[in-house]
Amino acid sequence: MRCPYCGSQDSQVKDSRPTEDGAAIRRRRVCPDCGGRFTTFERVQLRDLVVLKRSGKRVLFERDKLARSIEVALRKRPVDRERVERLISGIVRQLESSGDAEVTSRQIGLLAMEALRGLDDVAYVRFASVYRDFHEARDFEDVIRELTRPPEVEDLGSADADEPEAAPRA
């Protein structure tokens, strides 16, 4: 691992432990050349995922790209960094465990929106505005209206969506 201070390729691991969510390994490193100490986070990647874009183009999935888009939606929001990491790791795990080597950008966007909806309403609206390509104020009104309804109602997709579904018997 390259030292961020002097650029040396030869760093030594002093401590290694899993992160709280178990999705990564936290390694404390020291550079023998300059004595600099730094931390790295290493993640296990189960498989290479390919993303099928709307244009038909295929590109390798980049966790960092997903993280950046979620962080933009969460900018200046009072959300704990650890919760954001768990959210991103959860989305990646869902994609990797789907069994498909190829996922659509639409699938990724829907998973991100679903996760943000449970985390922060403002971030959800921000992400939706880019993901759904809003063009007018009415688009914002529609997504805010979605937020005021429970997610189950939204997913029914029937004309009777305003009537609650009967609860299953135990």
Handedness of CA 109, 78, 90, 146 (dihedral sign): negative
β-pair partners for 149: none
Same domain, 105 and 120: yes
Same domain, 106 and 83: yes
The predicted structure's pLDDT at residue 73: 92
- The two tokens of residue 92 are 């990646």
pTM of the model: 0.59
Are 70 and 84 contacting, i.e. CB atoms less than 8 angstroms apart?
Answer: yes
Amino acid present at 164: P
The predicted structure's pLDDT at residue 134: 81
The predicted structure's pLDDT at residue 152: 54
| Surface-to-core class of residue 66, CB atoms within 10 Å of its CB (0-12 exposed, 13-18 middle, 19+ buried) | buried
The predicted structure's pLDDT at residue 18: 82
Residue 107 lies in a domain: yes
Same domain, 73 and 40: no
What lies within 8 Å, CB to CB, of 87 at 6+ separation is 70, 115, 116, 119
Phi, psi of 89 (to 5 degrees): -60, -40
Residue 73 lies in a domain: yes
In terms of residue numbers, what domain contains 14? 10-44
Residues of the chain under the 50 pLDDT cut:
153-170
Residue 15 lies in a domain: yes
The predicted structure's pLDDT at residue 44: 64
The predicted structure's pLDDT at residue 99: 77
At 106-143, the pLDDT tens digits run 899 999 989 998 898 899 888 888 888 888 888 888 88
- The two tokens of residue 46 are 């189960």
